[in-house]
Structure 1
Amino acid sequence: MSAHPAQLWLPALDRFGQAHPLRRLLAQADRLDDDPRDRLARLADGFDGAGSPLPAAALLREHLAGDAGDATWLNADPAWVQPDMTGVRLLACGSMPLDMREAQAYTLALQPAFAEAGLQLEITAPSHWQLRLPPETRVPAFAAPELALGEDLYLHLPQGADGRPWRVLLNEVQVLLHQHSLNAARQARGLPPVNSVWLWGAGRLPASLRCRFAGVVGSDTLLLALAARAGVPGQSRTPTTLAAVQVGWLVDLQDVAVDELMSDWWPPVQALAQRQALQFTFAGGERWSWRPRHRWRFWRGAPR
C-alpha cells in the first residue's frame, strides 16, 4: 500500500481560476486518464467489500449509533427544496444546520406517515435520519444527493411501479413539513426550511471491508464510517492532519470552497507536494500525477 501516492480529492476543476497556484502545479504534473465515476462509486472502489451501490445508510448508522445489525437501512436525510418555473429543485441535503431538538420535532410529525408505510424513522444525528426497513422490502435505486443538488428532484426519483409508493410517500412528507411551525421560525433566523427528505444509500452493513488506502483525512461522515469499518485510521480534516499525510492516504477536500482551499488548505498541500508523490482527482473526474521532481518543469504553462 505504501507504494501508492497519497490521493487528494478536490472540487470541480472549473472552479479554480487560471491564476490559482494549483493550476501551475498541474501544468508540471502528468495528466492521467479521467475517472468519470461519481463520488460514491469512487468510495466503493476504495473499500473492497462495500458493494455497489454503496450501503451508505447502514454504514452511517453503525458508525454513529452502533446498532445497524443485519437490518436494511435507507437514508431519509432532511432537505431543503424550492419550486421554480421548471420544477422543484433540491437545494440542500445532509448539511442542514439542525440541532437535536429541531430534528426530534420534525421527525415526530413524520412518524405517522412512515409508520403507515411500515417504516421506522430513526434520528441517527440531527442532519442524518434513517429508515429501518422491514425484511424483504423492495427498494428501487435512489440517487445520491450530490447527483440531484441544484436539479429538478423529480428527475432523480425512482420511476415506474416500484418507485410509485416512494414518490407518494415523499409527497406526503413534503406536505407535512411544509406546514411545520419550525420552518417559519428558522426562516426568521435566516436559516433554510426543512421541507423535504432525500432517500438514498439503501442496503445492509457489509460484513467486512478492506481499504485500499493506508488511512483517510476528511470531514465527510460517510468516509470516516468506511474507514472505521475497514479498521484504518480516519482523521478529521485540519491543516495539521493534512500536513502529516503519508503515502497511501486519501485526503478528501472535494467539499471545500475554492477560496477556503486557497486560504486554509493550500499551504499544507504545497508542503506535501514538495516532499512526496500525489495524485489529484477532481470532482469532474480529471486526474493528474505529481512527483516532487516535476517542479523542474518550469517551462510548462498552466493547463486551460
Structure 2
Amino acid sequence: MILLPPTTRFAGIALPQALAKALGRADRSASDAGEEAQLARHFDVIPRRWPAAPLTRLLDSSEEDARLSGWLRADPAYIRPDINGARLLGIGDALGIDPSDVDALLPALRPLFGDVGFPLDAPVPGRWYLRLPREAKLPAFASPDDALGEDVFEHIPDGAEARRWRALASEAQVTLHNHPHNAARIAAGKPPINALWFWGGGVMPDHAACNSPTVFSDDPRLHGLARIGNFTAMPVASFNGFDADALIDLRARRDARELLERWLSPVVASGGELTLDFADGTAFTLKPGQRWRFWRRPLPTLAA
C-alpha cells in the first residue's frame, strides 16, 4: 500500500512507459477525497478524528503528559502581506527555527496565553503547544498543509468559539512583529517569525490500529499514533524494498517526477500486489494477473 498526494500533483507529466502500462491495466476505484478520509481508509482511530497536537505531543514528551490535557499546536509561522491579503509562506521547521528563537520569543508570548489559562511551551523548536482543558471546545482550524501558500483570510475559523482565537492570534502577531529578535533573524537571512498558526487541537485517541503492521512515514502524527497502536512506524528513508504488508506514506513528497521515477516505477516493476491510494480518493490496485489485460491502453498521465 502506498499513500500518495492528489493526482492533480502529477498534472501534465507523462508516465514512464512501464508504469503507464501497469496503471492502464490496473483496477481503478474512487473514494472520499481529503487527508482525513485517506488516512481513515488505513487507520482506525477512536474517537474518529485526527488530533495532531496530542499525537505529536506524545513524541515530544510522554504518554502521561499527552493524555493529561487537551492540546493545540501554536506553531511559529511566517505570514507575508501582499496586495490581495496575506499568505502563509512558512511554518515550524521550514523556518529554520532553533533553540535561540524559542528562548527569545516564548517569554514574550507566554503571558498572553497564560493569562487566559493556556500555558505555551515548545519541547522541540519547530513544534509549539498550548495546553488546554480536556473539555475545551475549539473551532475548525485549518492544517498548515491546506493553508500553505494561500491567503490566510480564507482559512480563518468562524463561529462563536473562534472569536477568542482570532483575538489571540492578532495579539500574538503584534507581539512578534515588534520583537527585536525578528530583526536579527532577517539580518541573518532568515524569514521572520511573525505569527502563530493554531491547528490540530484535541485530546489523545483512546484506540488506534492500522491495516499494516509496518508504516514508513515522515508524518510525526503517525509516529505518535504508533506509540498507542498495533503497528511500527519508521522514517521513509529506512524503506529498503517492497513489502506487500507495509504501508508507505509518500504524501509529503513534493517532487512529482521523483515520485514517479524513484518510487512508483520500481515498486510496480516488482510485480507484487499493490494499491496506490491518492489523496483525492483515486486508487489503483495492481495484481500480477493483470498483465494479461493486453487490450487495455496505457494510462498516459495521472491527471489531465
The aligned counterpart of 2:119 is 120
Name which of structure 1's ranges 249-258 and 88-97 shifts more when overlaid on structure 2: 88-97
How many angstroms apart in 1 are the aligned matches of 2:173 and 2:288? Answer: 52
Residue 55 of structure 1 contacts residue 201 of structure 1 at CA under 8 Å; is this kept in 2?
Answer: yes
1:179-198 alignment to 2 at 5 Å?
A: 179-198=178-197
- Give the drift of 1:172: 0.6
How many angstroms apart in 1 are the aligned matches of 2:37 and 2:154? Answer: 20
How many angstroms apart in 1 are the aligned matches of 2:22 and 2:254? Answer: 19
Question: What RMSD, in angstroms, separates the aligned Cα atoms of the two structures?
Answer: 2.4
Q: Which amino acid aligns with 1:282?
A: F
3-state secondary structure, aligned to 1:209: strand
Structure 2: unaligned runs, 5 residues or longer: none
Q: Which amino acid aligns with 1:31?
A: R
CA deviations 1:155-188 (Å, max 9, x no partner) are 2222132211110000011111112233233333
| 1:283 maps to 2:292 | no
| 1:258 maps to 2:252 | no
3-state secondary structure, aligned to 2:66: coil
Residue 247 of structure 1 contacts residue 276 of structure 1 at CA under 8 Å; is this kept in 2?
Answer: yes
The aligned counterpart of 1:3 is none
Q: Which amino acid aligns with 2:6?
A: A
The aligned counterpart of 1:18 is 13
How many angstroms apart in 1 are the aligned matches of 2:177 and 2:23? Answer: 47
3-state secondary structure, aligned to 1:226: helix
Paired residues, number:
293
Residue 104 of structure 1 contacts residue 123 of structure 1 at CA under 8 Å; is this kept in 2?
Answer: no
Quick one: percent identity of the two aligned structures?
38
How many angstroms apart in 1 are the aligned matches of 2:107 and 2:30? Answer: 49
The structure 1 residue matched to 2:244, chosen from 247, 265, 273, is: 247
The aligned counterpart of 1:31 is 28
- Give the drift of 1:272: 2.8
Name which of structure 1's ranges 194-203 and 98-107 shifts more when overlaid on structure 2: 98-107
1:198 to 1:159, Cα distance in 2 relative to 1, 3 A: same
Name which of structure 1's ranges 59-68 and 148-157 shifts more when overlaid on structure 2: 148-157
1:94 to 1:10, Cα distance in 2 relative to 1, 3 A: farther
| 1:131 maps to 2:145 | no
How many angstroms apart in 1 are the aligned matches of 2:48 and 2:185? Answer: 37
How many angstroms apart in 2 are the aligned matches of 1:195 and 1:229? Answer: 35
Residue 102 of structure 2 contacts residue 125 of structure 2 at CA under 8 Å; is this kept in 1?
Answer: yes
3-state secondary structure, aligned to 1:275: coil
1:163 to 1:269, Cα distance in 2 relative to 1, 3 A: same
Please give the TM-score of this superposition, normalised by the length of structure 2.
Answer: 0.86
- Give the drift of 1:33: 1.3
3-state secondary structure, aligned to 1:76: strand
